[in-house]
Chain A
Amino acid sequence: MQKATIQLETLTCPSCMQKIENGVKSLEGVNKESVKVLFNSSKVRAEFDDEKVSIKDIENSIDKLGYEVLKSQVKKI
């Protein structure tokens, strides 16, 4: 399992959180329990299985919702 911390552009509406959370959770290979969207620091934290899904896939899914990904960090856990 890998743990990703993804920095997004500044989030302003609380409903964005729900969108991003649902979007990331819907990906195969992402641990649903671990997905956390931090509204105020505009970050997403999620654990994922790198054999099923890549960090690029996660970034793309957020990007497609209309939120720019600034940078992401992946750490093995």
Chain B
Amino acid sequence: MQKFILGKKNHITIVSAILIIIAYVSKLGFKNEPIAIWSLIIASVLGVIPIAIQAYQALKVKVVSIDVLVTIAVIGAFIIKNYEESAIVTFLFLFGAYLEQRTLNKTRSAIKELTEMAPEVALKQLKNGEFEEVEIEEVDVGDILLVKTGAKIPVDGTVLTGEGHINEASITGEAVPVSKKKDSGVYAGTILENGTLQITADRVGEDTTFGKIIELVEEAQDSKSEAERFIDRFSKYYTPAVLGLSFIVGLISRDIELAITILVLGCPGALVIGVPVSNVAGIGNGARHSVLLKGSEVISDFSRLDTMVFDKTGTLTIGNPKVADKEIYADNVDEVLAYLSSVEKESDHPLAKAVVEYIGDTKSYTVEKTVVVKGGGIVAHVEGHRVAVGNVALMEQENVLLSKKVRGDIARFEENGNSLVLTSVDGELKVLIGIRDQIRPGVKEDLQQLKKLGVKNLVVLSGDNQGTVDLVARELGLTEAHGHMLPEDKSAYIKALQERGQIVAFVGDGVNDSPSLALAQIGIAMGSGTDVAIETSDVVLMNSDFSRLPYALGLTKATANNMLQNIIIAVGVVLVLLASVFFSEWMNMSIGMLVHEASILVVILNAMRLLRYKL
């Protein structure tokens, strides 16, 4: 029965609106007082039933909710025979609740879109080898699943047979389809654009990467900041306090009208809902734009950021050294490069890989008598020639003469932050190659934008030598650069900043920088696998996309501002209402309820602006 009535709340609202209209028409139009009064009485009784049920349920679990205040107020109005007030107040309260629900759904829409991308069914292989569609909950680790073109990948798994292209935008934010074949990993929630795959389930449900993202976002939108917890504690005592105040005022003044007006005006609606709606709208906007914010504490910290500290390799730079400069001192260029490539193929040193990649397709020679010189390079024989590939020390060891011009080139290369690879054939220098880690494209612009958004210090910390780090800092316009830093030096540096009262964000890779990531108020892990980045970061940038950083910062600033506006609106409205009860003539229950409901809608609409936020 209770449930039936609560389910019909919207109908009740409409009926009570009609009754109120009838009452006014008959009173003002036809001067028919009895019909007017009876319409209002029916509207009040009908309207108060669902509210009273909710109040009763709340009291049963020892909560003094708004429903309790409103129910007492309406009953009070009824007793003093003010049916007009009781009817209008119940109607406004119900109608307000309806509008709240509609607008709240809007603020939650962004996150709903995300959760609705979760797969619901899968084609599972049965014992007889046939595939049958089953609910996603029935899929276990180790099951074999069939995925057809256009379908969602139901689990995190490995391709068993088949080939196809998958759109992984839901996980990585990258819309270009990725090719998958036998043994490729696939992720739940991604979409097979073409082809057919059979996959083995490795992780299912909440354990999948997509499941973790959803859980994170769901927890985040309901997490509470310090300010919110304060409001919660406050409203826990606030509602009973309003109840007490109205009783005392009623007893002293013997004015029931005044007492019940206080009850209605004291409802804490906008205050309770103002901060959570900003939170959910802000986090929802982020989720839609590949930025996951882990809760409102993170929003509040990130928006007040002083210093952003970056790791260099793999964060500001790609982390994948490439050939940047070269000089050739020979006429038979192709042949020399072919020798070089052939020798370097013998090594798996990162620099050697960069050289091989740079030279690309070339004639391949047989390499004999390969000797690896520790801390120097490689010496080998190709086509009867003695070829040495390595650093300057190796060349000196090989008695290779370095001319004045070559020495000049070497100095220039080093100045540009290169690591050097020299190649000599039969004791004569032929090629000088400079290799360096490339700065990620677009990073410079992103950093400038961060500065514009109010980050005071941009610092790079790196294990590399000071020269290289200075170079990167100069190129990118960073404010500070420190080299020769071990992971523990980095965390000590962050601690020192914090002791000076700064709010620090650390952007680094998830593995060897984990102490710094944990220590900084805001840790942001780049790269090294989606899972680690999700778990260790306070702000998760999908696909470790650096360009999302300014967006994340701008969004948290907008969200924090929005929360503040909502708190000011809510507190302001309550203060004005309470003051006007005592100091003005025009204030009554109905106007109080109207203003109260309006203020709730205003804070929700204000929060909705965040959904459209763009940098």
Q: How far is the CA of A24 from the CA of B295 in the complex (A)?
A: 24
Q: How far is the CA of A12 from the CA of B94 in the complex (A)?
A: 12
Q: Are the CB atoms of B57 and A12 closer together than 8 Å?
A: no
Q: Which residues of B contact A40 (CB under 8 A)?
A: 108, 111, 218, 221-222, 276, 280
Query: Quick one: which of B30-81 are within 8 Å of A by CB?
Result: 53-54, 57-58, 60-63, 65-67
Q: Is B332 in contact with chain A by the CB < 8 A criterion?
A: no
Q: Are the CB atoms of B63 and A22 closer together than 8 Å?
A: yes
Q: Are the CB atoms of A66 and B54 closer together than 8 Å?
A: yes
- The stretch of B19-27, B98-106, B247-255, B436-444 in contact with A is B98-106
Least Cβ distance of B570 to chain A in Å? 12
Closest-by-CB residue of A relative to B102 is A12
Closest-by-CB residue of A relative to B221 is A40
Q: How far is the CA of A73 from the CA of B472 in the complex (A)?
A: 51
Q: Are the CB atoms of B273 and A14 closer together than 8 Å?
A: yes
Q: Are the CB atoms of B67 and A15 closer together than 8 Å?
A: yes
Q: Is B169 in contact with chain A by the CB < 8 A criterion?
A: no
Q: Which one of B54, B62, B104 contacts A22 once the chains associate, using CB atoms below 8 Å?
A: B62
Least Cβ distance of B43 to chain A in Å? 22
Closest-by-CB residue of A relative to B281 is A40
Q: How far is the CA of A13 from the CA of B3 in the complex (A)?
A: 17
Q: Which residues of B contact A12 (CB under 8 A)?
A: 97, 100-101, 104
Q: Are the CB atoms of B65 and A18 closer together than 8 Å?
A: yes
Least Cβ distance of B112 to chain A in Å? 9
Interface residues on A, range: 20 to 34
Least Cβ distance of B225 to chain A in Å? 14
Q: Are the CB atoms of B63 and A19 closer together than 8 Å?
A: yes
Q: Are the CB atoms of A66 and B61 closer together than 8 Å?
A: no
Q: Which residues of A contact B58 (CB under 8 A)?
A: 15, 18-19
Closest-by-CB residue of B relative to A39 is B222
Q: Is B6 in contact with chain A by the CB < 8 A criterion?
A: yes
**B-contact 0/1 string along A7-31, CB 8 Å cutoff:** 0001011110011001100100000
Q: Which residues of A contact B502 (CB under 8 A)?
A: none
Q: Is B117 in contact with chain A by the CB < 8 A criterion?
A: no
Main secondary structure of the interface of B (DSSP, over half): helix
Q: Are the CB atoms of B63 and A41 closer together than 8 Å?
A: no
Main secondary structure of the interface of A (DSSP, over half): mixed
Q: Is A38 in contact with chain B by the CB < 8 A criterion?
A: yes
Q: How far is the CA of A41 from the CA of B110 in the complex (A)?
A: 12
Q: Which one of B3, B61, B108 contacts A23 once the chains associate, using CB atoms below 8 Å?
A: B61
Q: How far is the CA of A68 from the CA of B6 in the complex (A)?
A: 11
Closest-by-CB residue of A relative to B61 is A22
Q: How far is the CA of A38 from the CA of B218 in the complex (A)?
A: 8
Q: Are the CB atoms of B97 and A39 closer together than 8 Å?
A: no
Least Cβ distance of B323 to chain A in Å? 50
Closest-by-CB residue of A relative to B115 is A41
Q: Are the CB atoms of B221 and A19 closer together than 8 Å?
A: no
Closest-by-CB residue of A relative to B63 is A18
Least Cβ distance of A9 to chain B in Å? 10
Q: How far is the CA of A18 from the CA of B62 in the complex (A)?
A: 9
Q: How far is the CA of A26 from the CA of B273 in the complex (A)?
A: 26
Q: Is B219 in contact with chain A by the CB < 8 A criterion?
A: yes
Q: Is A70 in contact with chain B by the CB < 8 A criterion?
A: no
Q: Are the CB atoms of A10 and B221 closer together than 8 Å?
A: no
Q: Is B2 in contact with chain A by the CB < 8 A criterion?
A: yes
Q: How far is the CA of A14 from the CA of B563 in the complex (A)?
A: 16
Q: Which residues of B contact A39 (CB under 8 A)?
A: 222, 276
Closest-by-CB residue of A relative to B279 is A40
Query: Quick one: which of A47-69 are within 8 Å of B by CB?
Result: 63, 65-66, 68
Q: Which residues of A contact B115 (CB under 8 A)?
A: 41
Closest-by-CB residue of B relative to A38 is B222
Q: Which residues of A contact B272 (CB under 8 A)?
A: 14-15
Q: How far is the CA of A15 from the CA of B104 in the complex (A)?
A: 15
Q: Are the CB atoms of B137 and A73 closer together than 8 Å?
A: yes
Q: Are the CB atoms of B276 and A14 closer together than 8 Å?
A: yes
Q: Which residues of B contact A18 (CB under 8 A)?
A: 58, 61, 63, 65, 236
Least Cβ distance of A48 to chain B in Å? 18
Q: How far is the CA of A15 from the CA of B57 in the complex (A)?
A: 11
Closest 10 CB pairs of A and B: A22-B61, A15-B65, A41-B218, A40-B221, A38-B222, A12-B101, A14-B272, A40-B280, A18-B63, A23-B61
Q: A: which residues have CB within 8 A of B?
A: 10, 12-15, 18-19, 22-23, 26, 36, 38-41, 43, 63, 65-66, 68, 73, 75
- Not counting A15-B66, A66-B57, a sample of 20 additional A-B residue pairs whose C-beta atoms are within 8 angstroms of each other reads A10-B105, A12-B100, A12-B101, A13-B66, A14-B272, A14-B276, A15-B67, A15-B272, A18-B65, A18-B236, A19-B58, A19-B63, A19-B65, A22-B62, A40-B218, A41-B108, A63-B3, A65-B61, A66-B2, A73-B137
Interchain Cβ contacts under 8 Å between A and B, 8 examples: A10-B104, A13-B65, A13-B66, A14-B272, A18-B236, A19-B65, A40-B108, A41-B221
